[in-house]
């Protein structure tokens, strides 16, 4: 018979799986409470980092309809449930793991499929959403500037041509009568 606290924990973890845009499974062997607190702060407000028992997490993943994660739930397991930007959380986990060898990224889950450690690393290497939007805006602005230049080019050419014709006409026209009178005296 299941204990009510364990049933509640499984339901809570299953809800976190369902409501998260991504989840990253880690091993935290040898990390102190202070280091875990530092990690939670680095992850920010959009990510919840939870230590959980493997049996409860396996049941919660099954309840949430997630397949292919069973092999990740071995040893001390903690899961980063990402509600916001997966790139930011993956970067924070990767950077923390570089400095703290006790944190090992096992894999993850995003967009309906399991992620390998390499895929989590690739997500961490991506630019954040804000940076990508800024790059897109810059590219669009550049293209609009090019288009404006192309649209203005015919008018500019026509103005230059008119100025050149006027200069040529002035250079080839006969001397004005005032100049002739001055030459005769």
33 and 114 inside one domain: yes
Q: Which of 98, 84, 88, 83 is nearest to 123 (CA)?
A: 88
What is the per-residue pLDDT across 24-49, written as a single tens digit (0 to 9) for each? 999 988 888 999 999 999 888 888 99
CATH classification at residue 116:
3.30.70.1730
What is the predicted pLDDT for the residue at 24? 92
Residue predicted with more confidence, 96 or 112:
96
Q: How far is CA 59 from the centre of its chain?
A: 32
113 and 143 inside one domain: no
What is the predicted pLDDT for the residue at 122? 86
120 and 151 inside one domain: no
The total domain count for the chain is: 2
**Angle of helix 4-19 relative to helix 54-64, nearest 10 degrees?**
50
> Which stretches of 45-128 are DSSP H helices?
54-64, 86-99, 117-125
3-state secondary structure of 79: strand
Q: How far apart are CA 67 and CA 109, in angstroms?
A: 9
What is the predicted pLDDT for the residue at 1? 45
Tokens of 123: 């997500």
86 and 11 inside one domain: yes
Q: Tell me the percentage of the chain whose pLDDT exceeds 70.
A: 91
94 and 149 inside one domain: no
Of 10-14, 56-60, 109-113, 177-181, where does mean pLDDT reach its minimum?
177-181
The residues, ordered by sequence, that sit 6+ positions from 81 with a Cβ below 8 Å of its Cβ are 16, 17, 19, 20, 23, 47, 48, 49, 50
89 and 142 inside one domain: no
The residues, ordered by sequence, that sit 6+ positions from 52 with a Cβ below 8 Å of its Cβ are 9, 13, 60, 77, 78, 79
Against a cut of 0.85, is the pTM above it?
no
Residue 143, pLDDT > 50, answer yes
Containing structural domain, residue 81: 4-126
Q: Locate tokens 């924990």: which residue?
A: 9
Of 47-51, 93-97, 112-116, 179-183, where does mean pLDDT reach its minimum?
179-183
47 and 117 inside one domain: yes
137 and 122 inside one domain: no
Beta bridge mates, 80: 24, 49
15 and 61 inside one domain: yes
What is the predicted pLDDT for the residue at 79? 92
Count of beta carbons in the 10 Å neighbourhood of residue 50: 16
Query: E strands of the chain, at which residues?
Result: 22-27, 47-52, 77-82, 104-110, 113-115
What is the predicted pLDDT for the residue at 175? 56
3-state secondary structure of 107: strand
Tokens of 106: 């096992």
Residue 101, pLDDT > 50, answer yes
């Amino acid at each position: 018979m299941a204990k009510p606290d364990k049933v509640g924990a499984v339901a809570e973890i299953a809800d976190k799986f369902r409501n998260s845009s991504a989840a990253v499974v880690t091993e935290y062997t040898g990390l102190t409470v202070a280091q875990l607190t530092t990690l939670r702060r680095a992850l920010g407000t959009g990510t919840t980092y939870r230590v959980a028992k493997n049996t409860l997490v396996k049941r919660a993943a099954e309840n949430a309809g997630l397949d292919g994660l069973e092999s990740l739930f071995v040893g001390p397991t903690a899961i980063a449930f990402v509600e916001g930007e997966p790139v930011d959380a993956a970067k924070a986990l990767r950077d923390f793991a570089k400095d703290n060898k006790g944190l090992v990224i096992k894999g993850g889950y995003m967009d309906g499929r399991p992620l390998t450690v390499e895929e989590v690393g690739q997500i961490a290497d991506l630019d954040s959403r804000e940076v990508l939007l800024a790059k897109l805006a810059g590219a669009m602005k550049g293209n609009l500037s090019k288009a404006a230049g192309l649209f203005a080019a015919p008018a500019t050419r026509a103005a230059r041509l008119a100025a050149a014709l006027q200069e040529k006409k002035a250079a080839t026209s006969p001397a004005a009568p005032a100049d002739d009178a001055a030459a005769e005296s």
